[in-house]
Amino acid sequence: MLLVNYLTFEGFKGISTFSSSHDAAQRVQRDALNMLYRNNSGSLLVNLCVSLALVFGFVDNPEKFSKYIWLAGMSLVFIMRYLDMRHWQLNLQDHKYEPAKPMRRFAIGRYFTAAGLSLYSVWFFHSMDVIELASTVVIMSALAGGASTTLAANKWLAMSYAGVLLLPLSAISLFGDEQYQNTLGLLGLVFTFVMYSSAKRACQFTTESILVKNQHADLLIQMAAKNQEVVEANTNLESKVKQRAKKIFELSNIDPLTKLFNRKAFLKNLHGLLHEAEEKQQDLALLFIDLDGFKGVNDVHGHAIGDKVLIAISQRLIGQAHNHASLCRWGGDEFLIALENRTAVEAREFSTSLIKFLSQPIRLEEKLLNLGATIGIAMYPEHSANEIELIELADTAMYAQKQSKKSDVSVFNSTMRDALNREAKLKEGLREALTHEQFYLVYQPVVDSRNLQVNFCEALLRWELDGELISPAEFIPIAEQNGLMYEMGSWVLRQACLEASQWEFDDKVSLSVNVSVLQLVYSDIVAVVKSALEQSGLAAHNLHLEITESIFAEDLKRVIKQIKTLQLLGVKVSVDDFGTGFSSLSLLQRLSADVVKVDRSFVASLNKGGKAIIQATQYIAKELGYSIVVEGVETEQQARVLMAMGVNSLQGFFFAKPMRKTELASWHKQHLKGRMDTLN
């Protein structure tokens, strides 16, 4: 059994060199065994025919009966081999079976056949005549020859088969009494060795073929596995690339807070929508939505709540916009919606109901917050075919609407376009004016109500564009919005200080200069003031800076700090246009200004409640230690009333209109005297 074990797959040790896997080795062994079994039916038939021929072919042999017994034994071997072959055909050949056992069975079957035939030649040697012996030697040699190729898939079986079959007969013949027996014995012996070496070569060839075939198959499997790996790696890479692309897309296209599209993405989407609208010849309405009261929420409840409000508003907008791509957060509390195939009337209706929807209270952490929204609409193609311009126009419409009435909707119109064109013209002109020093200053005296002496003169900026005198009330906001205020304001300060130092008044007349909120918040105004004073030689206590109440809406801490530093220099601070802006008495208290200038609207409405407000301001100013100036005194009657009320200082056309530096001295000498006479 050990021998059989050894013989079963000898010759296939090489498989380990190309494949370390047990599977690969078994595959090679199965291939060899399959080859052996495929040749088996032919060899079984040949063996049966040979056996029958040996028994029934030589009728003169006296051992007939013994031959029958032998044939019966051989038949048993053949039946066993047949059954084994059928078992392989039915149960194994197309399966991935364990090859060791069937190989053993096969080898045993073939050895029994060889041994049986060999037994025949030895058993009946003495009863054979010369013809039968010669025929038997030829038959055995032919069988050995055939087996050297049909058994080539099993090295040891193939090489030993001829030996088992021929050696006993050759040996017995070689030592036989007759000459012909010796000759046949010798022939048999030689043939055995020839068959041995031919079987060896055939085995080598077959073994190599099987190995190469399997190496090939193995490589194919390895290649398939590698391919699979590559496919998997690619799939992984693809999904990673997809994820990464998604992340990058989100980072560059999605607003991280609201998850709505951001500016960049929306502009791209809008470009596409406009293109579509052009192809379909349809209208498109662009809605610019700005929340009302959002700043208040941020200031009062903090930015975390502000963020939640923006998220809640975004959710509401998502529910209203029909297409997610046509909605974006433009920035801060501004949102855009593009409505495809809508007329201006339809867009207005949509906006009105959207405002109602957005204005519903928002419940956040036990708080009920009320906000509104103002919407501006611009139409494609009526107003513009360009996405950026369309947004600007909708913004303009929204802004115009906010100026007149918040939480309502406005469609862009020609008046707005004119205003826009004028704004663009002024913007351009302002840049020119700055570089070419086209500005000049006028001064309006502010008089003491007791003796009508000039307390100070307010410097007011003047600008003429193409012969038209543009009001500072118009161009200053444009300068502020376009980042020109810092440069412009610094020029005013330097120029006013310089001119004031050359005034031909007595020393007591101070200079008052208007300062924009932006100068106080975003620029180093202290340094500018210092250098203006140094260059002009004007005393710090002779300089007033007028700040408007809108200052309170800005970065108050910084404003207060700047004001305190300026006051430490000796500069005085006035709160301008008091009563019109974001007045807050507590802030007025914190600011500790020197002068409060009451807005001229209260003088104009002196008999309709204005007087009461001026009196109240007087009272507060007195308590807080401020001096009070009332602006916009246009008539003698107004002047008399205000003087009787005990207002500290008065300013207005009744006393003097703003004038050039050169006119100040003569006005001071002549006109003031006349007014005094009138009043006395």
Which parts of this chain interact with Mg ion (CB under 5 A)? 514, 546, 576-577, 631
Residue 499 or 631: which CB sits closer to ligand C2E? 631
Residue 255 interacting partner from Mg ion, ligand C2E, none (CB closer than 5 to 8 Å by kind)? none
Q: Which is nearer to ligand C2E, 333 or 631 (CB)?
A: 631
For residues 460 and 540, which CB has a smaller minimum distance to ligand C2E in the complex? 460
Instruction: Tell me whether residue 59 or residue 473 sits nearer to ligand C2E (CB atom).
Output: 473
Per CB under 6 A, 549 contacts ligand C2E: no
306 or 652: CB nearest ligand C2E? 652
Q: Dihedral of CA 30/79/144/122: which sign?
A: positive
Q: Which two tokens stand for residue 208?
A: 């190599």
Least distance between ligand C2E and beta carbon 488 (Å): 7
Q: Which is nearer to Mg ion, 260 or 639 (CB)?
A: 639
Query: Rounded distance, CA 299 to CA 294, Å?
Result: 9
Report residue 354 as tokens. Answer: 């959207």
Query: What are the residue ranges of helices labelled H in 281-360?
Result: 294-301, 303-320, 344-358
- The CA–CA distances, whole Å, from 212 to 44, 208, 216, 593, 669 equal 29, 6, 6, 102, 123
Q: Which of 514, 523, 618, 648 binds ligand C2E (CB under 6 A)?
A: 514
Residue 632 interacts with which of Mg ion, ligand C2E, none, CB < 5 to 8 Å by class: ligand C2E
* Residue 653 binds to ligand C2E (criterion: CB under 6 A): yes
- Measured from the CB atom, the residue of 634 and 663 that comes closer to ligand C2E is 634
Helix or strand run (H / E) with residue 378: strand 372-380
User: How far apart, in whole angstroms, are the C-alpha atoms of residue 268 and residue 249?
Assistant: 13
- Tell how strand 649-650 and strand 627-630 pair up: parallel
Q: How far is the CB of 664 from ligand C2E (least distance, A)?
A: 15
461 binds, among Mg ion, ligand C2E, none (CB under 5 to 8 A by kind): ligand C2E
Is the sign of the CA dihedral 500, 505, 510, 516 positive or negative? Answer: negative
Residue 621 CB, nearest distance to ligand C2E (Å)?
17
**Cβ closer to ligand C2E: 141 or 514?**
514
Within 8 A by CB and 6+ apart from 444, the residues are: 457, 458, 460, 651, 656, 657, 658, 659
- As a whole number of angstroms, the distance between CA 184 and CA 196 comes to 18
Residues 6+ apart with CB under 8 A from 214: 15, 18, 19, 24, 27, 28, 31
Residue 456 φ/ψ, nearest 5 degrees? -155, 165
In the complex, least distance from residue 577 CB atom to Mg ion, rounded to whole angstroms = 4
Q: Tell the smallest beta-carbon distance from residue 603 to ligand C2E (Å).
A: 8
Pick one of ligand C2E, Mg ion, none as the site partner of residue 290 (Cβ within 5 to 8 A by kind): none
Element (H, E) at 444: strand 439-448
Q: How many whole angstroms separate alpha carbon 58 and alpha carbon 31? A: 41
438, two tokens: 């086209």
The listed partner (ligand C2E, Mg ion, none) that binds 634, CB under 5 to 8 Å by sort, is ligand C2E
Q: Are strands 543-548 and 572-578 parallel, antiparallel or unpaired?
A: parallel
Contact 294, 329 (CB under 8 A): no
Nearer to ligand C2E, 32 or 593 (CB): 593
Tell me the closest approach of the beta carbon of residue 513 to Mg ion, in angstroms. 9
- 658 near ligand C2E, rule: CB under 6 A: yes
Could you tell which of ligand C2E, Mg ion, none binds residue 43, using a CB distance below 5 to 8 A set by kind?
none
For position 465 contacting ligand C2E by CB under 6 A, the verdict is: no
Part of the chain binding ligand C2E (CB under 6 A), chosen from 23-31, 465-473, 580-588, 669-677: 465-473
Q: Does 472 sit near ligand C2E (CB under 6 A)?
A: yes
- Please give the residues from 475 up to 494 whose contact with ligand C2E meets the rule CB under 6 A: 476, 489, 492
Strand partners, 290: 334, 374
Q: Where are the alpha helices (DSSP H) in 359-484?
A: 387-404, 414-435, 472-481
* Furthest C-alpha separation in the chain: 180
Residue 460 touches ligand C2E, criterion: CB under 6 A? yes
Q: In whole angstroms, how close is the CB of 604 to ligand C2E at the nearest point?
A: 8
381 upstream amide cis, omega within 30 of 0: yes
Q: How far is the CB of 450 from Mg ion (least distance, A)?
A: 22
Q: Among residue numbers 554 through 593, which ones bind ligand C2E (CB under 6 A)? A: 576-577
**Shortest Å distance, C-beta 394 to ligand C2E:** 29
Min. distance of Cβ 664 from Mg ion in angstroms?
17
- Cross-strand pairs, 548: 576
Q: Which stretch binds ligand C2E (CB under 6 A): 21-29, 158-166, 214-222, 469-477?
A: 469-477
Please tell me whether residue 515 binds ligand C2E under the rule CB under 6 A: yes
By CB atoms closer than 10 A (0-12, 13-18, 19+), residue 623 is exposed
Cβ proximity to Mg ion: between 31 and 576 the closer is 576
- Write each residue from 390 to 419 as x if it is in contact with ligand C2E (CB under 6 A), else as -, in one continuous string: ------------------------------
Q: Which residues here bind ligand C2E, judged by CB under 6 A?
A: 444, 460-461, 471-473, 476, 489, 492, 514-516, 546, 576-577, 600, 631-634, 651-653, 658
